[in-house]
């Protein structure tokens, strides 16, 4: 998760049980996100796998790859091109690979709804401030870093580090938004760690027989901790979670140590803090709005429909009261795809423009890059939210099913 997805998060609640980890993120007392990691159901996004091509589909312009999962991985031609970087964009899949070949790939989407996981040859290794792209040359600097001079400085520091470390010509670097202000020594140290990780991956893959997992990123907790604000409260429900987070912070972010608390109450932490109640509410169709009214959330096959019912409230007041709750529910429930929101009618153009801007600002804090397309001709607000994991309802149903 990026730092952007954690803006305003002031509390992290952690519960580590046998085969199950739950992480709740709160802002101003409200549950913003729930991350569930269950043994056997964890996301494999970012895993690096050695797979064998079992079918090349000319019609789909893609290959199916055995990676040891229930369904074969799907590798479209555009994601396979870096296996033969000399080939131009648009090269058909049959010219990029063949059945029986073995390739090192990265999973970029989990399997869902009967579709297998999606793979890519464009491997990316992430650290706190950098990304190493072993098959994609060049140095890219996040455009969100303010100041042309700062971006130029970072680019030069990355190029110098790459030269000092002897990176190969095809290996590239991305400087993330969090790299702003990072000095040259830290850039080189972080890049050295990423390069060493890639060399280790190559060494493990060389004698291996597919299908096999070669490398997997850190767990969700370890991916979150680098990006928390330094004054974030971290409440641990159990000794296992407290030990895990304390050891990580001692090694990486000692400034968080004073904010780590081991909960010792009699009632379960998530119950005492109201998280269980909020999780249950996130599975309901209707969501009450502060001051009156409610959201009605209806996920269907092709889209998610959200109706803002203002009850007896002034339509303008109800519409603006719903903005932040709409954004919160999209993230909390992990709703994705086409989302249509029916806000109460706003007659004034200025009010409609203001609602769009407030909703855009609320969506900017999401963990994924959500697009707000504005009003449709029918007066609905149209949103496109990428899928990064299963819906909360589906995740919890899988846990209940075992």
Contact 65, 105 (CB under 8 A): yes
Using CA atoms, how far apart are residues 205 and 307, in angstroms rounded to an integer?
51
pLDDT for position 398: 78
119: exposed, middle or buried (C-beta count within 10 Å: 0-12, 13-18, 19+)? Answer: buried
Q: How many CA atoms lie within 13 A of 353 on its CB side?
A: 3
Determine the average pLDDT of the residues in 130-135. 96
Using CA atoms, how far apart are residues 61 and 78, in angstroms rounded to an integer?
9
Residue where the block lists tokens 């549950």: 31
Contact 337, 384 (CB under 8 A): yes
Q: Which residues contact 9 (CB under 8 A, 6 or more apart)?
A: 25, 26, 27, 32, 228, 229, 232
pLDDT for position 288: 95
pLDDT tens-digit map of 1-57: 555 578 889 999 999 988 889 999 999 999 999 999 887 777 888 999 999 999 999
Q: What is the reported pTM?
A: 0.76
Contact 107, 71 (CB under 8 A): no
Using CA atoms, how far apart are residues 389 and 55, in angstroms rounded to an integer?
27
pLDDT for position 110: 85
pLDDT for position 3: 56
Using CA atoms, how far apart are residues 180 and 155, in angstroms rounded to an integer?
11
Q: Which residues contact 69 (CB under 8 A, 6 or more apart)?
A: 44, 111, 116, 117
What DSSP designation does 335 have? -
Q: Which stretch of DSSP H or E encloses residue 222?
A: helix 220-224
pLDDT for position 47: 95
pLDDT for position 219: 84
Residue where the block lists tokens 């049959």: 94
pLDDT for position 2: 53
pLDDT tens-digit map of 263-313: 999 999 999 999 999 999 999 999 999 899 999 999 998 899 999 999 889
Q: Which stretch of DSSP H or E encloses residue 233?
A: strand 233-236
Contact 123, 171 (CB under 8 A): no
Using CA atoms, how far apart are residues 204 and 48, in angstroms rounded to an integer?
11
C-alpha closest to that of 105 among 52, 60, 38: 52
CA 10 to chain centroid, in Å, comes to 19
Locate 328 and state its tokens.
Answer: 């919160």
pLDDT for position 39: 75
pLDDT tens-digit map of 345-396: 999 999 999 999 999 999 998 988 899 999 999 999 999 998 888 899 988 8
Contact 129, 176 (CB under 8 A): yes
What DSSP designation does 283 have? T
C-alpha closest to that of 391 among 306, 312, 299: 299
C-alpha closest to that of 329 among 298, 351, 300, 354: 298
What region, left, alpha or beta, does residue 378 occupy, with left being phi > 0 and alpha being psi -120 to 50 degrees? Answer: alpha
Locate 377 and state its tokens.
Answer: 């001709």
In the chain, % of residues over pLDDT 90: 80
Contact 229, 235 (CB under 8 A): no
Q: Is the model's pLDDT at 113 over the cut of 70?
A: no
Q: Which residues contact 221 (CB under 8 A, 6 or more apart)?
A: 14, 21, 23, 244, 245, 248
């Amino acid at each position: 998760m990026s730092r952007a997805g954690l803006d305003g998060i002031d509390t992290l609640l952690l519960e580590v049980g046998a085969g199950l980890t739950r992480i709740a993120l709160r802002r101003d007392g409200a549950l913003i996100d729930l991350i569930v990691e269950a043994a056997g159901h964890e996301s494999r996004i970012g895993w690096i796998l050695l797979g064998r091509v079992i079918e090349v589909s000319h019609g789909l312009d893609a290959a199916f790859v055995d990676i040891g999962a229930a369904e074969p991985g799907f590798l479209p031609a555009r994601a396979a091109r870096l296996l033969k970087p000399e080939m131009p964009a648009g090269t058909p899949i049959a010219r990029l690979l063949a059945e029986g070949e073995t390739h090192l790939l990265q999973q970029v989407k989990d399997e869902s709804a009967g579709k297998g996981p999606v793979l890519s040859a464009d491997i990316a290794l992430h650290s706190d401030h950098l990304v190493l792209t072993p098959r994609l040359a060049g140095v890219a600097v996040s455009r969100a870093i303010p100041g042309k001079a700062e971006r130029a400085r970072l680019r030069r520091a990355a190029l110098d580090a790459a030269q000092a470390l002897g990176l190969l010509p095809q290996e590239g670097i991305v400087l993330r938004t969090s790299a702003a202000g990072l000095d040259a020594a830290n850039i080189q140290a972080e890049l050295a760690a990423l390069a060493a990780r890639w060399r280790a991956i190559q060494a493990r893959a060389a004698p291996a027989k597919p299908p096999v997992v070669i490398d997997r990123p850190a767990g969700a907790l370890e991916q979150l901790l680098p990006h928390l604000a330094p004054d974030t409260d971290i409440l641990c429900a159990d000794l296992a979670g407290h030990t895990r987070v304390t050891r990580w912070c001692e090694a990486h972010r000692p400034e968080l140590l004073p904010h780590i608390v081991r909960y010792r109450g009699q009632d379960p932490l998530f119950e005492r803090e109201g998280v269980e109640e909020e999780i249950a509410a996130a599975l309901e169709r209707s969501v009450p709005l502060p001051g009156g009214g409610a959201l009605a959330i209806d996920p269907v096959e092709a889209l998610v429909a959200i109706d803002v019912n203002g009850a007896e409230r002034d339509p303008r007041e109800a519409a603006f009261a719903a903005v932040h709750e709409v954004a919160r529910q999209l993230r909390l429930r992990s709703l994705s795809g086409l989302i249509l929101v029916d806000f109460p009618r706003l007659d004034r153009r200025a009010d409609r423009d203001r609602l769009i801007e407030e909703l855009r600002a609320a969506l900017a804090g999401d963990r994924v890059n959500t697009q707000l397309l504005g009003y449709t001709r029918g007066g609905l607000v149209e949103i496109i939210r990428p899928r990064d994991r299963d819906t909360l309802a589906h995740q919890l149903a899988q846990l209940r099913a075992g």
